[in-house]
A and B are shown apart, each in its own frame.
Chain A
Amino acid sequence: MAYPTQYRYTKEHEWIDAKGDLATIGITDYAQHELGDVVFVELPAAGSKLVKGKTFSSVESVKAVSEIYAPANGEVVETNATLQSKPESINNDPHGAGWLVKINLSNASELSSLMDAAAYEAYIAEKQKEASA
């Protein structure tokens, strides 16, 4: 699956797509693939604060719990309510319908420290090489 070039990516496999101060956050295709069939998603309430690098959500497959880390500081303005009944959206469309939260960024310039799509793809290629070694 292609990694959208306008998104920014974390080493913990979250993506963030900012349009001005409003940003959408999700987990990457690599992350959903590692996790397997997603069966449960826990999301923060609207209005709660995200602290960059701290967990704000958990996504669970049958076999594992994965903590999701905030790629930036901000306040939650909307959560993806459809994930409660359709958690598999994260597997089927991780970069689109499987988004987790929308936030108001505290400081949009923070995103420049994250990886772009090319850097992220190189990063996961390295991970995959390690795994098959």
Chain B
Amino acid sequence: MESVNSPANTGPRKTPLNALHRRLGAKMVNFGGWDMPVEYPSSGGLVAEHHAVRNSVGIFDVSHMGDIRIRRSNKSGGALEAAQYLTMNDASKLALGQAQYSAMLYPQGTFVDDVIVHRLGEDDYLLVINAGTREKDINWVRQNTSKFNCMVEDLSDIYTQLAIQGPRAIDVLSKLTDANLGAVKNYWFTHGTVCGLANTLIARTGYTGEDGFEIYIPADVTTSERVWIAVIEAGKEFGIVPCGLGARNTLRLESKMALYEHEISDTINVWEAGLDRYCKMEKGDFLGRTALEKARAASLPRTLVGLEMVERGIARDGYRCVDQSGEVVGVVTSGSPSPTLRKNIALAYVPPALSALGTSIYVEIRSQKCKAQVVATPFYKRIRKAIAP
């Protein structure tokens, strides 16, 4: 198998599709130690890519994401117990073929990483993790599962992960697989033949707030490029475009999906991040639970809110939030123009007293105070098709 990341290579890591991105003329950036496409001028750039996903379909290379499999080592295995201890959502509720948004926490109730937990089989789980935290995550999982009767495998380098996202994603992918995608519900997955590759994991998941699928294929360059090109061909009639991390960021921000080191980190806890509904305190013991119990009884120092700029100006990651008198009250975790809403939006941590909808908050933009107001989130929510009676 060709490897694009031989140990002798220094510098940023590359996905198996790196050469293809460069051939397409993508603008590349270093993202969490990975050389990744940020936008494709040939697709029309970030804004065109964003609209393609909202209105039709786009394809993303997300092979930099990591994958950790936890499964039983013998018949009386403890993979579920390990997953329950490691993650905050209730993995025991997962049916075969189902996935859930969750997170791994430090004992302090803050974030190691957010993850998607897939139940692959009987006592067999796949955790999909972030790129920038891969090594930390795998070490964390190994350290904290040694007391359970399970095996931990790092599968990050064996998969090329493609995200096909947008309302027409199902039409595109259906042309390339025998799997009945219509029967796969949101946050469920199936296995099927995709472009001749048998037993491919096909999950109805994504990071765009739109319908879509993520597929996991072998990580060799030839196969990865062949499948990418097949998806592009199949998607031509729907106007599919390659999409980079720039559009991925605006799409996830509009949908208020957390980004590690921004909305969640090792200093932010679950309650502050507002991820309560994915944290199941009643399921039994898990890492972080004791601290979260205490934190729940105390008052929160800060909470995550959505902001919309009222005055001219774009709030950016790391800009300070101030009150009318200029006193610093918080910080922007992510901020950008929203291509869908055509407004400048942001997520920010502020004191709960300033979190009510309509509250005026100011963002310091190059030493100027720019007025913003707290708005409802997510900023964008897709309209789901009504279920036929």
A63-B46 contact given A40-B314, A40-B337, CB 8 Å threshold: yes
Residue of B nearest to A39 (CB): B337
Q: Are B47 and A132 in contact (CB under 8 A)?
A: no
Give Cα distance in the complex from A65 to B313, angstroms.
11
Give Cα distance in the complex from A131 to B47, angstroms.
23
Q: Is B109 an interface residue (CB 8 A)?
A: no
Give A103 Cβ to nearest chain B Cβ, in Å.
Answer: 21
Interface residues on A, range: 10 to 19
Residue among B22, B28, B46, B312 making CB contact with A37, cutoff 8 Å:
B46
Interface residues on B, range: 20 to 34
A63-B39 contact given A36-B46, A37-B47, A132-B22, CB 8 Å threshold: yes
Q: Is A17 an interface residue (CB 8 A)?
A: no
Residues from chain A with a CB closer than 8 A to the CB of B314 are 39-40, 60, 65
Residues from chain A with a CB closer than 8 A to the CB of B313 are 40
Residues from chain B with a CB closer than 8 A to the CB of A122 are none
Q: Are B41 and A33 in contact (CB under 8 A)?
A: yes
Q: Mark B1-35, 1 if CB is under 8 A from A, else 0.
A: 00000000000000000000010000110000000
Q: Are A61 and B46 in contact (CB under 8 A)?
A: yes
Give B43 Cβ to nearest chain A Cβ, in Å.
Answer: 11
Q: Are B41 and A62 in contact (CB under 8 A)?
A: no
Give Cα distance in the complex from A61 to B47, angstroms.
10
Residues from chain B with a CB closer than 8 A to the CB of A113 are none
Q: Is B250 an interface residue (CB 8 A)?
A: yes
Q: Is A58 an interface residue (CB 8 A)?
A: yes
The residue in A36, A42, A62 that gathers the most chain B C-beta atoms within 10 A of its C-beta is: A62
Q: Is B165 an interface residue (CB 8 A)?
A: no
A63-B339 contact given A36-B46, A40-B314, CB 8 Å threshold: no
Chain B interface, DSSP helix/strand/loop, else mixed: mixed
Give Cα distance in the complex from A63 to B251, angstroms.
12
8 Å CB contacts to A: which residues of B282-334?
A: 312-314, 316
Q: Mark B250-271, 1 if CB is under 8 A from A, else 0.
A: 1000000000000000000000
Residues from chain A with a CB closer than 8 A to the CB of B39 are 36, 63
Q: Are A62 and B250 in contact (CB under 8 A)?
A: yes
A62-B47 contact given A33-B41, A40-B314, A40-B337, CB 8 Å threshold: yes
Q: Are B41 and A63 in contact (CB under 8 A)?
A: no
Q: Is B127 an interface residue (CB 8 A)?
A: no
Q: Mark A46-70, 1 if CB is under 8 A from B, else 0.
A: 0000000000001011110100000
Q: Are A63 and B366 in contact (CB under 8 A)?
A: no
Give Cα distance in the complex from A36 to B312, angstroms.
20
Give Cα distance in the complex from A37 to B342, angstroms.
13
Q: Are A62 and B22 in contact (CB under 8 A)?
A: no
Q: Are B336 and A63 in contact (CB under 8 A)?
A: yes
Q: Is B249 an interface residue (CB 8 A)?
A: yes
A63-B22 contact given A39-B337, A40-B337, CB 8 Å threshold: no
Q: Mark B34-54, 1 if CB is under 8 A from A, else 0.
A: 000011010001110000000
Interface residues of B (CB under 8 A from A): 22, 27-28, 38-39, 41, 45-47, 246, 249-250, 312-314, 316, 336-337, 339, 366
Sampled A-B contacts (6; CB under 8 Å): A33-B41, A39-B337, A42-B366, A60-B314, A63-B46, A131-B28
Interface residues of A (CB under 8 A from B): 33-34, 36-37, 39-40, 42, 58, 60-63, 65, 131-132
18 other A-B residue contacts (CB within 8 Å) besides A39-B314, A40-B314, A62-B46:
A36-B27, A36-B39, A36-B46, A37-B45, A37-B47, A39-B337, A40-B313, A40-B337, A61-B46, A62-B47, A62-B246, A62-B336, A63-B38, A63-B39, A63-B46, A63-B246, A65-B316, A131-B28
